[in-house]
Chain A
Amino acid sequence: MKFPDLSMSNPVRLRDLIRQIRSAKTAAEERAVVQKECAYIRDSFRDEDNTWRCRNVAKLLYMSLLGYPAHFGQLECLKLIASTRFTDKRIGYLGAMLLLDERQDIHVLITNSLKNDLNHSNQYIAGLALCALGTICSPEMSRDLGGEVEKLMKSSNPYLKKKAVLCTVRIIRKVPEQFDVFQNSVRSLLSEKNHGVLLSAITLITEMCEQNHQALQVFRKLVPNLVRILKNLIMSGYSPEHDVSGISDPFLQVRLLRLMRILGRNDIEASEIMNDILAQVSTNTENTKNVGNAILYETVLTIMNIKSESGLRVLAVNILGRFLLNNDKNIRYVALNTLLHVVQADHSAVQRHRATVVECLKDADVSIKRRAMELCFALINSNNIRTMINEMLTFLGTCEQEFKADCTSNMFLAMDRFSPSKRWHVDQMIKVLTTAGNSVRDDIVSSLIGIISSSPDLHGYTAQQLYKFIRDDITQQPLVQVASWTLGEFGDLFVSGQYQHTEDEENIQVTEGEIVNVLEKILNWSLSTVITREYAINALMKLSTRFPSCSDQIQSVMTVYACNMNLELQTRAVEYTSLFTKHNSIRSSIVERMPVLMNNQPSTTNNEEQTYEQEDSSSITGINSHITSDIKNEPVEDLFKILDEPSSTNTGNEFNTENNLFDLLNSNNQQSISIPNPLDDIFGNDLLKNQSIIINGKTSSIPSMTAIDKNGLRIIFQFERQDNILFIHLHATNSTKIPITNFVFKAAVPKTFNLELLPPTSTIIPSNNSGDLRQTIKILNSNKDKLRMRIKLNYLYNNSSISDEAELNTFPEQCYN
């Protein structure tokens, strides 16, 4: 641009400024140049000089690209937009797009200029206005200018049309209510010939459908039109303006496929119409070029997400399999990603490609490795568990640190579900612990302990295996933790040789002293974590009764640790010391072997809770020695005491304190696993979530329940509910000939509830149903948990005392929901 030389010193041209900045040798020099120029520009803006404004703003935009603040140019952009010259407008709109956004107050000032320019006769100026509007508009601007944009959408000029359509996309995002305004004009857009307009129209429809359910219904009727457009694209011959590497307008094809996916989801009718065209696209598109692969990928995604027929699905999985064999990394990534979504829906089809997926584990690329790992875990089943776990172990040995925690957790879960035998399970888990080192999560440790505990025939064997590892190396904390626990519980079995020996491995003989020494070493080693040491000190305590010869050595260790700086260790040591001295008589009963945990459910959380319960009972007695005297009392009191015990126990910091002591049928708290729920559809929507739960408020219309009906004694519960408080009125009747006397009713509930027993009307239940006994129970259920109750009845009948228990699980839902 040549301007007449009017002023004394012209501002530097953009090109020269760029040269100056580039020739600066240091960052400080560059900053100096930029600041000088900024100061000059600021002065020139103040002088309101029209001729050079355009050039100055261009320079300012360049400097903002480099990261320097340029907000003082915003007002100048507005002035440029208001000018009549095309060059000014162009730079002005560019500046507005780059420098302004909704957060600035100035930007509403553009609205007026935009309005004028939208109606300008020059299509490029109108185009500029649309571009700016589409980039920075705010909800207010959308409302003001929506009408103008709609007018332009109907214009005959394709250049303006496509820009107007895209502008609408942004308007709809900002102000979803405007959908009604634009809805009607959209339909006619689909019959356009111009591909640019078609592309924008498809984008607009996609956006509308994603936002608005009602739009989905409206546009489903257009599916035949979409199919027709796609067909024309594929069947039409070579057209130079749309061709990319031999395929006709691949972008439009991809967008059409995506829109069909959205429309066909969960709708059988629409999906049926699409079946043919999808099959055609899959078979006709050549997959040697990148664009062809892009279309095939989109087709596969569409097929898997709509209600397509099974033949089509098989075709899709085959295409994905072919992708996996491709050398191009991008395609493999994309294929692995899709297979992960597919695997829940179509497990057997994906199994065929298992070998290839396992190969991908060895790839150097991190993204591919991650996808391959997740997919491998999804493919494990009872047939291939052994080989797969071997592969995963190899992978674990060589993978990056970020993968190890997830990998170990998933391996544990897989083995939990599918392992052929307990012994194999334990063996593999020990291998996992030794390979993964310190990146194993804490809950795996406790779950493994649960598994070891629940298989009695493996106790001695496990102790031996673990001992072999830790006598040489005590650096891997999870392994050491499991080993300490095992040796503490089952060390005596190991020493006495009472376990199943293996033929092929060396069977070592150890003395009691050696085991105690190892545990002491762990305890004393400064690099053991506090948790490991807690495990070790517990184990030593248990061994004090199992290995009587080492009892003195252990006692001296405890005395030493009674002065330890760590509060936790010190507390334990002090209590254990007191067990040696003051309460020596009960020491053996306290640390005797835990009962074997019978593993009913294959979930890891189950093991945690059981272990917690058992650990709790052994260490609670350590804390509150008064409970030990209660053990001699009636067991029913124990039930109350343990239930009412606050959960602040020593082992709380190792295990999940939210666990319910009362019963093992707790709600599952799932670990962070990427194995998807088989009931989810591809996009992770839980199909079961759509149940509505009827909430009963204060009404007393809850049906009553028979709690117990045995030997003539019948107790009926009637319910009354006020929000979270449930009143249970019990009526006890006696249908026998002999009255019941000294009737005492006791109840226990899970810890999350608060129970209050009000005094009964009497303790005598007359015979022959001639009278009844009433008592009210008040239960506070703040968590809205499922109500369960264990009741115990004690009474005198016919001069003999009878005691009866029952567990009640079948409370009506309205009691607690």
Chain B
Amino acid sequence: MIKAILVFNTRGQPRAIRFFESCSTELQQKLIRESYQIISKRDINACNFVEYNDNKLIYRQYATLYFVFVIDSSESEYDIYELIHIFVQCLDQYFENVCELDLIFHSDKVNHILNEFFMGGFIVERSPDLILNDIRTQIRLERQDSGVLKQMGSKIKSVVDTKTEKMKLDVEKKFDIKL
């Protein structure tokens, strides 16, 4: 299984992190720091698999970002290597020419995409198109949510208006006065 997914930039600042094994905040930050130290020292042409304690770090660099997957021995290194590429492709399709700033300012959306891709350390779905469909539907739902209140408000308003209008006409008729 995948133990953790880390995305940090070439200066070591984390941009998106997800841990599939429970560990404390200090441990998380320690892992990020150590991975950064190991990976930033590696040559461009070196192989993308590094051994780290009992786990392996599979990493790929895209522009200023390192995408690092920490896996244990039950996963195939090559498989995960390809998966990183699929994940980045998905981000690219969603944000349209994704760059580091997109990940910074929309970290919640990145988290939602991660949720659709991985669960509990395993891959849920590996087709970017299907995932993006789901994401877009969910965003529509969110928008509807906030739109619903407005609709309800205006509906109530219209109901109240018609009722008061009616009452007004009734009273006018009854008492033959003009309100």
Chain A complexes with chain B: yes
With A86-B145, A329-B48, A334-B49 already in contact, 6 other A-B pairs whose C-beta atoms are closer than 8 Å: A1-B146, A14-B108, A131-B119, A166-B120, A254-B79, A329-B46
Q: Which residues of B contact A14 (CB under 8 A)?
A: 108
Contact bitstring B32-51, A, C-beta under 8 A = 1, else 0: 00000000000101111111
- Complex CA distance for A22 and B100, rounded to whole angstroms: 13
Q: Which residue of B lies closest to A94 (CB)?
A: B111
Q: Closest approach, in angstroms, between the C-beta of B36 and any C-beta of chain A?
A: 13
- Complex CA distance for A195 and B126, rounded to whole angstroms: 9
Q: Which residue of A lies closest to B108 (CB)?
A: A58
Q: Which residue of A lies closest to B21 (CB)?
A: A101
Q: Which residues of A contact B137 (CB under 8 A)?
A: 124
Q: If A65-B107, A87-B146, A166-B119 touch, does A365 touch B127 (CB 8 Å cutoff)?
A: no
Contact check, B47 vs A368: say whether CB atoms are below 8 A apart.
Answer: yes
Contact check, B119 vs A69: say whether CB atoms are below 8 A apart.
Answer: no
B123: interface (CB < 8 Å)? yes
Contact bitstring B122-154, A, C-beta under 8 A = 1, else 0: 111111011000100110011011100000000
Closest A-B pairs by Cβ, 3 of them: A101-B22, A329-B47, A294-B78
A333: interface (CB < 8 Å)? yes
Q: Which residues of A contact B82 (CB under 8 A)?
A: 244, 250-251, 290-291, 294
The tally of residues in B whose CB lies under 8 Å from a CB in A reads 52
Q: Which residue of A lies closest to B125 (CB)?
A: A196
Q: Which of A86, A159, A210 contacts B134 (CB 8 A)?
A: A159
Q: Which residue of A lies closest to B143 (CB)?
A: A1
Contact check, B47 vs A170: say whether CB atoms are below 8 A apart.
Answer: no
Q: Which residue of B lies closest to A137 (CB)?
A: B120
Contact check, B146 vs A2: say whether CB atoms are below 8 A apart.
Answer: yes
B29: interface (CB < 8 Å)? yes
Residues of chain B at the chain A interface (Cβ within 8 Å): 14-18, 20, 22, 25, 28-29, 43, 45-51, 74, 76-79, 81-83, 86, 104-105, 107-108, 111-112, 115, 119-120, 122-127, 129-130, 134, 137-138, 141-142, 144-146
Q: Closest approach, in angstroms, between the C-beta of B137 and any C-beta of chain A?
A: 7
Contact check, A162 vs B142: say whether CB atoms are below 8 A apart.
Answer: no
Q: Closest approach, in angstroms, between the C-beta of B29 and any C-beta of chain A?
A: 5
Contact check, B50 vs A367: say whether CB atoms are below 8 A apart.
Answer: yes
Q: Which of B17, B51, B111, B145 contacts A367 (CB 8 A)?
A: B51
Q: Which of B76, B111, B142 contacts A297 (CB 8 A)?
A: B76
- Complex CA distance for A626 and B141, rounded to whole angstroms: 96
Contact check, A169 vs B47: say whether CB atoms are below 8 A apart.
Answer: no
- Complex CA distance for A15 and B130, rounded to whole angstroms: 28
10 contacts between A and B (CB under 8 A): A2-B146, A61-B111, A65-B16, A66-B14, A166-B124, A167-B120, A294-B79, A294-B82, A297-B76, A364-B45
Q: Closest approach, in angstroms, between the C-beta of A15 and any C-beta of chain B?
A: 6
A52: interface (CB < 8 Å)? no
- Complex CA distance for A167 and B120, rounded to whole angstroms: 8
Q: If A94-B115, A294-B76, A334-B78 touch, does A241 touch B127 (CB 8 Å cutoff)?
A: yes
Contact check, A244 vs B105: say whether CB atoms are below 8 A apart.
Answer: no
Within 8 A of B (CB), among A245-282: 249-251, 254, 258
| A-B CB pair tally, cutoff 8 Å | 154
Q: Which residues of B contact A258 (CB under 8 A)?
A: 76
Q: If A67-B25, A332-B47 touch, does A200 touch B142 (CB 8 Å cutoff)?
A: no
Contact check, B76 vs A15: say whether CB atoms are below 8 A apart.
Answer: no
Q: Closest approach, in angstroms, between the C-beta of B41 and any C-beta of chain A?
A: 10
A729: interface (CB < 8 Å)? no
Q: Which residues of B contact A90 (CB under 8 A)?
A: 112, 138, 142
The tally of residues in A whose CB lies under 8 Å from a CB in B reads 71
Q: Which of B105, B122, B124, B144 contacts A15 (CB 8 A)?
A: B105
Contact check, B124 vs A200: say whether CB atoms are below 8 A apart.
Answer: yes
A404: interface (CB < 8 Å)? no
Contact check, A135 vs B79: say whether CB atoms are below 8 A apart.
Answer: no
Contact check, B25 vs A103: say whether CB atoms are below 8 A apart.
Answer: no
Within 8 A of B (CB), among A179-203: 195-196, 199-200, 203
- Complex CA distance for A101 and B24, rounded to whole angstroms: 9
- Complex CA distance for A250 and B80, rounded to whole angstroms: 11
Q: Which residues of B contact A122 (CB under 8 A)?
A: 141
A423: interface (CB < 8 Å)? no
- Complex CA distance for A601 and B129, rounded to whole angstroms: 66
Q: Closest approach, in angstroms, between the C-beta of A738 and any C-beta of chain B?
A: 73
Contact check, A330 vs B49: say whether CB atoms are below 8 A apart.
Answer: yes
Contact check, B127 vs A196: say whether CB atoms are below 8 A apart.
Answer: yes
Q: If A90-B112, A159-B134, A251-B83 touch, does A69 touch B126 (CB 8 Å cutoff)?
A: no
Contact check, A297 vs B126: say whether CB atoms are below 8 A apart.
Answer: no
Q: Closest approach, in angstroms, between the C-beta of B178 and any C-beta of chain A?
A: 36
Q: Which residues of B contact A22 (CB under 8 A)?
A: 104
Q: Closest approach, in angstroms, between the C-beta of B169 and any C-beta of chain A?
A: 32
Q: Which residues of B contact A365 (CB under 8 A)?
A: 43, 45-47
Q: Which of A85, A136, A330 contacts B48 (CB 8 A)?
A: A330
Q: Closest approach, in angstroms, between the C-beta of A127 and any C-beta of chain B?
A: 8
Q: Closest approach, in angstroms, between the C-beta of B14 and any C-beta of chain A?
A: 6
Contact check, A131 vs B122: say whether CB atoms are below 8 A apart.
Answer: no
- Complex CA distance for A199 and B118, rounded to whole angstroms: 12
A745: interface (CB < 8 Å)? no
A163: interface (CB < 8 Å)? yes
Contact check, A251 vs B47: say whether CB atoms are below 8 A apart.
Answer: no
A751: interface (CB < 8 Å)? no
Contact check, A367 vs B127: say whether CB atoms are below 8 A apart.
Answer: no
Q: Closest approach, in angstroms, between the C-beta of B116 and any C-beta of chain A?
A: 8
Q: Which residues of B contact A15 (CB under 8 A)?
A: 105
Q: Which residues of A contact B145 (CB under 8 A)?
A: 85-87
Q: Which residues of A contact B51 (CB under 8 A)?
A: 367
Q: Closest approach, in angstroms, between the C-beta of A26 and any C-beta of chain B?
A: 14
Q: Which residues of A contact B146 (CB under 8 A)?
A: 1-3, 87
Q: Which residues of A contact B28 (CB under 8 A)?
A: 67
Contact bitstring A105-141, B, C-beta under 8 A = 1, else 0: 0000000000000000010100010110011100000
Q: Which residues of A contact B83 (CB under 8 A)?
A: 251
Contact check, B25 vs A86: say whether CB atoms are below 8 A apart.
Answer: no
Q: Which of A134, A170, A249, A364 contacts B43 (CB 8 A)?
A: A364
Q: Closest approach, in angstroms, between the C-beta of B52 and any C-beta of chain A?
A: 11
Q: Which residue of B lies closest to A245 (CB)?
A: B82
- Complex CA distance for A203 and B123, rounded to whole angstroms: 9
Contact check, B112 vs A94: say whether CB atoms are below 8 A apart.
Answer: yes
Q: Which residue of B lies closest to A204 (CB)?
A: B122
Q: Closest approach, in angstroms, between the C-beta of A467 and any C-beta of chain B?
A: 43
Q: Which residues of B contact A368 (CB under 8 A)?
A: 47
Q: Which residues of B contact A654 (CB under 8 A)?
A: none
Q: Which residue of B lies closest to A171 (CB)?
A: B120
Q: Which residues of B contact A416 (CB under 8 A)?
A: none
Q: Which residues of B contact A65 (CB under 8 A)?
A: 14-17, 107
Contact check, B115 vs A131: say whether CB atoms are below 8 A apart.
Answer: yes
- Complex CA distance for A250 and B85, rounded to whole angstroms: 13
Q: Which of A58, A86, A135 contacts B141 (CB 8 A)?
A: A86
